[in-house]
Structure 1
Amino acid sequence: MQKIISASGLCLGYENEQNLITDAKFDIYSDDFVFITGQSGSGKSTLLKSFYGQMKPSAGSLSVCLMDMTDITQQNLDKLRQRIGVVFQNYRLISEWNIEKNVMLPLMIKGLSASVCKNQATKLLKHVNLLHRADKFPNELSGGEQQRAAMARALAHNPNLLLCDEPTGSLDEYSSDVIWGLLRSAKEYLGTCIVVVTHHIPVSLRVPYRHLVIENGRIYEIL
């Protein structure tokens, strides 16, 4: 198993504030499905931001997909983001683009041809049961549909690592079940490493997982 995230002595915090994460040490492997839980304000989203380079460590070491995140260059950060997908609680779809083009975005960034982008978007939208909504804009979709579109976008470029920040936090039970099913499929059929920040671990996930907890700035694993 290859380490996809590795932290040692990791500290994370905002300028002129006390660190939210202190002296964290953990490894996440390429075939892991990991849940990160903790109280509101404990640093869950902050930790996730450090994995895709939105926040740099204030101390210690952190590597993601074999890249050192402590002083990563913009060029390497761009390369890293072609290997990861991110799903946010508030979807972050581009409102001026239809759903098909939103899903195509990671492939467009990679410079793939229009036909390849369109074919991959069609395949993914069919998988998330949104092909019939491909020409609609985000504000014409329900919250659950927008999150499914965001999931399709995050998986469009077959990432090695999928990061999810409260992906079902604002969804109803049906939409939540659909999202967990998509995550399970990504793990089982694509071999994607998945890291999910959440308040509640679903009891019906039916996939082996690891559980990291953030408490009083410390990170520990429930075995």
Structure 2
Amino acid sequence: MDKVIIAQDLSLAYSNNETIINKASFSINSGDFVFITGASGSGKSTLLKSLYGALKPKQGSLVVGGVELKAISRSKLNFLRRHMGIVFQDYKLVKEWTIEKNIMLPLLINGYLKNVAQDQVEKLLKHVRLNHQIGKYPLELSGGEQQRVAMARALAHNPILIMADEPTGNLDEYSSQLIWNLLEGANNQLKTTVIVVTHNIPKNLNVDYKHFHIEYGNIHEIS
């Protein structure tokens, strides 16, 4: 099975401060569904940032999609991210754009024709139960609705890897279930590799998953 991510003796830190992740070695296969757990401040979001290239390794090796991230160029990183879907805790929607335009952005970046992109956006908005809000702006939506838009944007271009940072942390039960259904469907039906940082692993997911737990800078796989 292809390895999407390979970490060898990976250490992470911000500037020259205290090491947050210490000499971690792990791998993630194509099609895996992975949960990353740990106490607040343990380094979950830090690890996720490194996986999409927002934080370079302090030491060790981190290979994502066959590319070593320690010395990756900006242009190569931008190309790599075109195959990723990222869901941030704070959504990172462009507030001056409609939700249609927010979701369409990764499609246009990936070269989709505008009419094809519009069709895809309409399908996704139906999936997240927001097709009636297509002309609205992010700040006109609730937090749960904004997160559903962020999820639709992450899925829009059929990425091979989706990373989500606490995607249901502050959501109502309805929005949370929609998010989990979308991630589960992407993994089961499209064989998308999914990595989720969370405090709580849902009990009713219909997927086999890996579980990495971070404690005192160390990453342990829990079976």
TM-score interval (norm. to shorter): over 0.9
SS of residue in 2 equivalent to 1:208: coil
User: What is residue 111 of structure 2 aligned with on the other side?
Assistant: 111
Q: CA deviation at 1:109?
A: 1.4
CA distance in 2, matches of 1:69, 1:48: 13
Q: Distance in 2 between matches of 1:148 and 1:74?
A: 29
- Are 1:12 and 2:17 an aligned pair? no
CA shift digits 1:3-51 (9 cap, x unpaired): 0011000000011211100110000011100000001111100000001
- Corresponding letter in the other structure for 2:73: T
* Aligned residue number for residue 153 of structure 1: 153
Superimposed CA distance per residue, residues 156-183 of structure 1 (whole angstroms, 9 cap, x where no aligned partner): 1100000000001111222111111111
Alpha-carbon offset, residue 207 of structure 1? 1.2
Q: Which residue is 1:131 aligned to? A: 131
> Partner letter of residue 157 of structure 2?
H
**Equivalent AA in structure 2 for residue 41 of structure 1:** G
The question of whether the paired residues in 2 share the 8 Å contact of 1:9 and 1:25 is answered with yes
Pairs within 5 Å for 1:71-110: 71-110=71-110
Partner of 2:64: 64
In the alignment, the residues of structure 2 paired with residue 120 and residue 176 of structure 1 have an alpha-carbon distance, to the nearest angstrom, of 22
Deviant stretches of 4+, over 2 Å: none
Q: How much has 1:57 moved relative to structure 2?
A: 0.1
Letter in 2 for 1:202: P
In the aligned structure 2, how far is the partner of 1:86 from the partner of 1:53?
A: 12
**2: CA distance between counterparts of 1:102 and 1:31?**
27
SS at match of 1:167: coil
Show the counterpart of 1:212: 212
Q: Shift in Å at residue 112 of structure 1? A: 2.4
Q: 1:179 matched to which residue of 2? A: 179
Matched residues, number: 223
Give the SS at the match of 2:16: coil
Question: Does the CA-based 8 Å contact 1:165-1:196 persist in structure 2?
Answer: yes
Structure 1 partner of 2:142: 142
Counterpart of 1:45? 45
CA RMSD between the two structures: 0.9
Identity between Structure 1 and Structure 2 (%): 57
The AA in structure 2 aligned to 1:42 is S
Question: Aligned-pair distance for 1:125?
Answer: 1.1
CA shift at 1:111, angstroms? Answer: 3.0
Please give the TM-score of this superposition, normalised by the length of structure 1.
Answer: 0.98
Q: What's the secondary structure of 1:169's corresponding residue?
A: coil
Q: 1:17 is aligned with what amino acid? A: N
Please give the alpha-carbon distance, in whole angstroms, between the structure 2 residues aligned to 1:194 and 1:147: 17
| TM-score normalised according to structure 2 size | 0.98
Distance 1:200 1:172 in 2: 15
Give the letter aligned to residue 31 of structure 1: G
Runs of at least 5 residues in structure 1 that lack an aligned partner in the other structure:
none
